[in-house]
Amino acid sequence: MLFGRIKRSAELFKQAWSVLKSEPGLVLFPILSGAALLVVVASFALPIVLSDELLGAFRQVMDSADSKRAATASGDSAASTSARLIVWSTMFAFYLVTSFVTIFFNAALIGAADKRLRGEASGVREGLAIAMQRLPQILGWALVSAIIGTILRCIEERVGFVGKFVIGFIGLAWAIGTYFVIPALVLDGVGPIEAVKRSAHTIKKTWGEGLVLAIGFGAIGFVVTLVCLMFIIAGVVLGVVNESAVLGVAVGSCGVLLMIAWSLVASTLGSIVQVALYRYALDGTVLDGFDAGALKGAFALKKAPKTAKA
C-alpha cells in the first residue's frame, strides 16, 4: 500500500515537472519572492544594527533567555519589560511583512499555475494580477500567520526542552493543516477562517498522499544536498590542497547554485501539485497536464461512511 502511494506521488511529481517544462516562467515567482525577502530582511536588520537602543534591547532579551533568570533590581526589571516589548513588537512586524511577501508571491504562483493548467494564457503579469485581486485575503492570512508565529515563538522562549518539542509539533500540525489555505484564498476568494476550514477538509482526503509526497520531495532534496556538498567539499580540496583557487571556487559555486536551483524548482513543483489536488478535491476537475488516475489515487484514503440506520 505504501509502495503504491509512493508510486502515485512519483507520478504526480513527473506530471508537475512536465507542466513546469511547458511553462518555465513559473519558477520566476520564487525568485521574485526570495529577492523581496532579502530586501525585507535588510530593511529590518540595518535599523537594528545602526540603532543602539534597538540593538541593546535585543541583546538584553537574548542575555535574559540565555541566563534564564529575571533581573532583581526594579530598574533592571522595567528595562527588561521595555526591551521585551521592543523585541516582540519588532518580531511581530517582521513576521507580518515576511508572511505577506511570501504569501503574495505564492498566491501569484498558484494563480498563474491554475490558469496554465486550465489552458489559459499565463505568466508573471497574470499571476501578479491575480494576487492583487486577492490582496484583502492575502493581508488577512498574513496577519493570522504573523499572530500564530509570534505566539508560538513567545511560548517557545518560556518553556523547557519538552515544551519546545510540543510547540514544534503544534507548529508542524498547523503547517500541515493549512497546506491548502493559499489555493482556497486564491481560487475561491474566501477569507482566512473559511480557507483554513477548506484546507483542513481537503487535508483529510489527501493526508496520506500529501505526506508521502512531502517525504518524496524531502528524499530528492536530501540527495541533491549531498551532491551539492560533494561539489563544495571538492571545491575546498581543490582550493586548499591543490592550491587551485579559481577551480576550487568554480566547483564550489556549482554546488551552491545547484542547491539554490533545486529549492526554486521544488517550491514551484509543490505549488503546481497543490493546484491540481485542490481543484480535483473541489469538483473532480482534472487539470491539463495531470492524469485522472494519479489524482484519484490521492483520495479515497478513508473508509466509506456507514449508512445511517432508518
Range of the domain at 196: 2-297
pLDDT the model gives residue 133: 95
Q: Is residue 289 part of a domain?
A: yes
With cut-offs at 50, 70 and 90, classify the pLDDT of residue 207.
low
Q: Is residue 149 part of a domain?
A: yes
Q: Which residues contact 241 (CB under 8 A, 6 or more apart)?
A: none
Q: Is residue 308 part of a domain?
A: no
Q: Is residue 80 part of a domain?
A: yes
pLDDT per position as a tens digit, 107-129: 999 999 999 988 888 889 999 99
pLDDT the model gives residue 306: 41
Residue 154 cell numbers, joined:
513567545
For residue 23, the 8-state DSSP code is -
Q: Is residue 253 part of a domain?
A: yes
Its pTM stands at: 0.80
With cut-offs at 50, 70 and 90, classify the pLDDT of residue 215.
low
Q: Which of 228, 300, 232 is nearest to 258 (CA)?
A: 228
DSSP string, 77-94: HHHHHHHHHHHHHHHHHH
Q: Is residue 230 part of a domain?
A: yes
Range name among 1-10, 15-24, 168-177, 181-190 with the lowest pLDDT average: 1-10
Q: Is residue 302 part of a domain?
A: no
pLDDT per position as a tens digit, 27-79: 999 999 999 999 999 998 888 877 777 777 777 767 665 555 444 444 444 44
For residue 307, the 8-state DSSP code is P
Domain count, the chain: 1
Per this entry, what is the length of the chain?
A: 310
Whole-angstrom distance, CA of residue 292 vs CA of residue 215: 22
Give percent above pLDDT 70 in the chain. Answer: 78
Q: Is residue 65 part of a domain?
A: yes
Mean pLDDT, range 182-207, rounded to an integer? 86
Mean pLDDT, range 221-249, rounded to an integer? 78
pLDDT the model gives residue 71: 43
Higher model confidence: residue 153 or residue 25?
25
Rg for the chain, CA atoms, rounded = 23
pLDDT the model gives residue 72: 40
Tell whether the model's pLDDT for residue 22 goes beyond 50.
yes
DSSP string, 138-168: HHHHHHHHHHHHHHHHHHHHHS-HHHHHHHH
185: part of which helix (H) or strand (E)?
none
